[in-house]
Structure 1
Amino acid sequence: MSSKKIIDDLVSRKIEFESEEEKSVESSDAQKADISAEIQSGGFQKVQGKGFDSFFESSLRTADPVSLLLMCYDLAKASLKKAIEGIRNKDYELKYEGVSRAMRIFDTLIAITEPNEVGKYLITSYLFITKKIVEADISKDEKLFEKIISYIEELEQAWRKIKSKT
């Protein structure tokens, strides 16, 4: 799984990396340093908004595959939290946005994961997660969304361990 393949697939599926509330990202040096530090630490919360800024796109294109995977997991978790917020506030458009973004992320991960020995287990996990997302969406079940987030966190922890050993 190459970094370029992941980025190209995410872009082609129009997965946005910034929240709709933030219409633009200022390109000050301090903000770029914050974004760079957030990406390097494995976090992704500050890097959310519409479109790509050239610095952010460059950071994505140079990230290793495990870092990109961790970013995808962070984005999926943030999207599911958005869905939970939508349910709590009876804002079903917000719920829809969160659910559909999370589904696109896992569809992308399924599409780009090589079906080798490890990949088959990942694909099975991603299919399980997407099935649970659909169930939680239909039933508007906040607790199930939270459980799904915990599944993603388990995957994330496993990849962080692998990354720390390399």
Structure 2
Amino acid sequence: MTGIFTESAIHQKSPQEITALLYEACLTNLEEAIEDITNKDYVFANKKLQKANDILHRLGAGLNYEAGIIADQLDVLYNYMADKVVEANLHKDVSIIKEVLQIVEDLSSSWNQAMQNKHADPKAAIRQKALAYEKNVFMEDN
């Protein structure tokens, strides 16, 4: 990953942006491993799958367990995918890689959507919360 970005550029990223980059790097390695297996370049496929597995472990290590049940669920999912990547590497099974690829794509898409929503108009979010509070107070008064 440091090949794409300088070390100082990575240090300037937020944890959320680094997570998004890790998802992208994992997707790239999985896609390239599928291509390598298809071309019978098993040594390269092995390296790509090892990198994908390393990324999944890094994602799991970076979880904030104070976030609640979602962190626990992500931990289980990351471990499941890491196990599947090892199995796919052992058998050079493209179908298993595709399963993991689909999960990572879904996670990446959801993560990027959550980041966009977080960076949306913060004043609008505050107004929405205030309106919900006022509505609740109004309902209690009646």
Task: State TM-score, norm by structure 2.
Answer: 0.74
Residues in 2 aligned to 1:152 and 1:60: alpha-carbon distance in whole angstroms: 21
- How far the C-alpha of 1:127 sits from its partner, in A, is 0.7
User: What letter is aligned with 1:150?
Assistant: Q
- How far the C-alpha of 1:62 sits from its partner, in A, is 1.1
Matches within 5 A, 1:17-32: 17-18=2-3
User: What letter is aligned with 1:148?
Assistant: V
- How far the C-alpha of 1:139 sits from its partner, in A, is 2.2
What's the C-alpha RMSD, in Å, of the aligned pairs?
Answer: 1.6
Give the corresponding residue for 1:83: 33
User: What letter is aligned with 1:149?
Assistant: L
Matches within 5 A, 1:96-135: 96-116=46-66, 117=68, 118-135=70-87
- 70-79 or 105-114, larger mean C-alpha shift: 105-114
Equivalent of residue 92 in structure 2, options 121, 140, 153: 140
The count of corresponding residues between Structure 1 and Structure 2 is 116
Equivalent of residue 155 in structure 1, options 83, 104, 107: 107
C-alpha deviations, 1:108-142, integer Å up to 9, x for none?
Answer: 12222122312112111101111211222122111
Task: Give the percent of matched residue pairs that are identical in Structure 1 and Structure 2.
Answer: 25
Residues in 2 aligned to 1:153 and 1:86: alpha-carbon distance in whole angstroms: 20
Residues in 1 aligned to 2:15 and 2:108: alpha-carbon distance in whole angstroms: 13
The runs of at least 4 aligned residues of structure 1 exceeding 3 Å deviation read none
- How far the C-alpha of 1:58 sits from its partner, in A, is 2.1
- How far the C-alpha of 1:17 sits from its partner, in A, is 3.6
Residues in 1 aligned to 2:71 and 2:110: alpha-carbon distance in whole angstroms: 14
- How far the C-alpha of 1:106 sits from its partner, in A, is 1.1
Task: Indicate conservation of the 8 Å contact 1:17/1:75, yes or no.
Answer: no
User: What letter is aligned with 1:132?
Assistant: K
Residues in 2 aligned to 1:89 and 1:161: alpha-carbon distance in whole angstroms: 34
Residues in 2 aligned to 1:77 and 1:160: alpha-carbon distance in whole angstroms: 14
Unmatched tracts of structure 2, length 5 or more:
119-142
Unmatched tracts of structure 1, length 5 or more:
1-15, 19-46
Task: State TM-score, norm by structure 1.
Answer: 0.64
